[in-house]
């Protein structure tokens, strides 16, 4: 089973997807971390992020190592562990330039599909991002759009960061501007065909995980019925 989880910044995609993958015994793929790792690599190489061709070439050249164990988040770029570095505010403020580069998107979508295909012999994966259900893997057995209101998303993102790491204005910029930028290249504000929208504003993390696991079991049962 492939479960596709899309949604805006701060909607709880990562924590939710990890929790679902852990409970269902599936692999977990954080596609946003891939864009962050390419951003880190481009900055480390001193590239002008507005130089679309140079950044796309870096995306094709960089060696990415991504853990798909939901209980072990670890990412490396060209042999360097960037698990912590890609969460730095300098990456957060720059990643939209990478994510809106169409050639970069094409390369990372190719890599994401390879990882999803590799997960299938072992049961599948929970994959989260912006356009998983619409572009990367539109035939996922379960497609979800996870949303929350802006204040809830800002509060969740703030809780992920070290105290004083960003100002309130910087945090709002990360949430609002990045969503606006990314919406120019991917549709994640409206549920795609066949996707279930879950508003997590007033739900706890465990409640959201419960809902998705129930939907996954229903989707699995429906699939068995079709095959029988």
pLDDT in tens, 72-110: 989 999 999 999 999 998 998 899 999 999 999 999 999
pLDDT at 190 (0 to 100): 63
Q: Where are the domains of the chain?
A: 2-220
pLDDT band for 67, please (50, 70, 90 cuts). Answer: very high
Q: Has 10 been labeled as part of a binding site?
A: yes
Distance of CA 124 to the CA centre of its chain: 16
Report the pLDDT value the prediction gives residue 172, as an integer from 0 to 100.
Answer: 72
Tell me if 70 is assigned to a ligand binding site.
Answer: no
pLDDT at 186: 64
How confident is the model over 154-189, as pLDDT tens digits? 887 777 665 556 676 777 776 776 766 666 666 665
What is the per-residue pLDDT across 22-63, written as a single tens digit (0 to 9) for each? 999 999 999 999 999 999 999 999 999 999 999 999 999 999
- Phi, psi (deg, nearest 5) at residue 98: -75, -45
Instruction: Give the integer Cα–Cα distance in Å for 67 and 173.
Output: 29
Is 9 a known ligand-binding residue?
A: yes
Q: Confirm whether residue 15 is marked as ligand binding.
A: yes
Name the pLDDT band for 214 (thresholds 50, 70, 90): very high
Report whether 97 contacts 54 (CB < 8 A): no
Q: Is 14 annotated as a binding residue?
A: yes
Residue 150 has pLDDT above 80, yes or no: yes
Residue 67 is labelled as binding a ligand: no
Query: Does 11 count as an annotated binding residue?
Result: yes
**Mean pLDDT for all residues in the chain:** 89
- Domain 2-220 sits in which CATH superfamily? P-loop containing nucleotide triphosphate hydrolases (3.40.50.300)
């Amino acid at each position: 089973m492939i479960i596709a989880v899309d949604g805006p910044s701060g909607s709880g995609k990562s924590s939710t997807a990890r929790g679902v993958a852990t409970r269902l015994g599936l692999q977990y793929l954080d596609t946003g971390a891939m864009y962050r790792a390419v951003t880190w690599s481009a900055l480390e190489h001193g590239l002008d992020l507005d130089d679309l061709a140079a950044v796309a070439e870096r995306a094709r050249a960089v060696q990415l190592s991504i853990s798909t164990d939901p209980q072990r988040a670890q990412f490396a770029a060209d042999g360097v562990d960037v698990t912590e570095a890609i969460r730095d505010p300098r990456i957060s403020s720059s990643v939209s330039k990478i994510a809106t580069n169409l050639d970069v998107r094409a390369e990372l979508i190719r890599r994401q599909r390879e990882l999803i295909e590799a997960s299938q012999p072992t049961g599948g994966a929970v994959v989260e991002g912006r356009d998983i259900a619409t572009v990367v893997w539109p035939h996922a057995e379960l497609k979800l759009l996870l949303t929350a209101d802006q204040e809830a998303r800002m509060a969740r993102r703030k809780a992920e960061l070290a105290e004083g790491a960003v100002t309130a204005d910087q945090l709002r910029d990360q949430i609002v501007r990045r969503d606006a930028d990314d919406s120019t290249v991917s549709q994640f504000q409206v549920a795609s065909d066949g996707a279930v929208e879950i508003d997590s504003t007033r739900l706890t993390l465990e409640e959201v995980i419960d809902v998705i696991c129930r939907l996954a079991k229903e989707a699995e049962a429906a699939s068995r019925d079709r095959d029988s």
